[in-house]
Amino acid sequence: MPRMSKGLPIKQKIPGVNKIVLVSSAKGGVGKSTVSINVALSLQKLGKKVGILDVDLFGPSIPKLLNLSGEPRISENGKLLPLSNYGLESMSMGYLIKPENPVVWRGLMVMKALQQLLFEVQWSNLDYLVVDMPPGTGDTQLTISQQLKVNGAIIVTTPQDIALIDAVKGIAMFNKVDIPLLGLVQNMSHYICPNCHHESHIFGSKGAEREAKNHDLEILGSIPLNEEICTQSDAGKPVVVSSPDSPISDPYVDIARKVLNQLE
């Protein structure tokens, strides 16, 4: 556990990691994990050594998105060794329990598992660790915010007001714990019909832009609602690697480039 100073935990770095970027939504169902994995792979595409840590203990998605399974091996010094695919190191509760088994734990068990994922994984000198956060603004988010030296956070939302309500809560949370906000990602921003090419704003429009302006934040990117993103994600082949030269992967690379511009 982190040492204490004047009653507050001293924020620490994760061994083997240079910079930490949190990807949060404060609300489930907005495509946060898909954004997380494609942004991580885009950072790698831009020449960085990258890993992804899935701290959604109750609903881990990264194993499915990376087409990975099986328990991680243990290093000589007793740490978990990340599983890798597409050159991306990863760790998730989904590797430690069977997919069909629910995590039915009380708070102490959850915090113990979180500490293991945060500080008992042997990363191999990463430039960036992307942390796929769980929905909400509860214990897990507060623990990570208080214990880790985080370089920046991204908030994923849709243009719909019901999602933006929670996105604003996420903005307030990161401001309270002094974590720099890199900007908003507007997911499922629009749908383009593959037949007639008509653009529809199914979940509304301009919502994220409005909140970004209200909170002096940048819109890092707008990602369309696209069938290929969905099908390739379900197949464990994120579009940044399955369709690297397609326009559907461009927004993720642009987001990663803006993250690097801010942090480097």
CA-to-CA separations, 212 to 60, 205, 242, in angstroms, rounded = 28, 13, 31
- Sorted by sequence, the CB contacts under 8 Å of residue 68 that are 6+ apart come out as 62, 83, 84, 85, 90, 95, 236
- Sorted by sequence, the CB contacts under 8 Å of residue 42 that are 6+ apart come out as 240, 249, 252, 253, 255, 256, 257
Range of the domain at 178: 4-263
Distance CA 143, CA 150 (A): 12
pLDDT at 204: 60
pLDDT at 225: 86
At CA 187, angle to CA 50 and CA 33, rounded to 5?
A: 40
Cβ proximity of 54 and 86 under 8 Å? no
The SS3 of residue 186 is strand
Averaged pLDDT score across all residues of the chain: 88
Name the strand (E) or helix (H) holding 116.
helix 107-119
Name the strand (E) or helix (H) holding 184.
strand 181-186
The burial of 83, by beta-carbon neighbours within 10 Å (0-12 exposed, 13-18 middle, 19 or more buried), is given as buried
pLDDT at 84: 97
CATH (domain of 139):
3.40.50.300
Q: Tally the domains of the chain.
A: 1
pLDDT at 205: 67
Residue 69: count other Cβ atoms within 10 Å of its Cβ: 13
Low-confidence ranges of the chain (pLDDT < 70): 1-9, 190-191, 193, 197-198, 201-205, 207
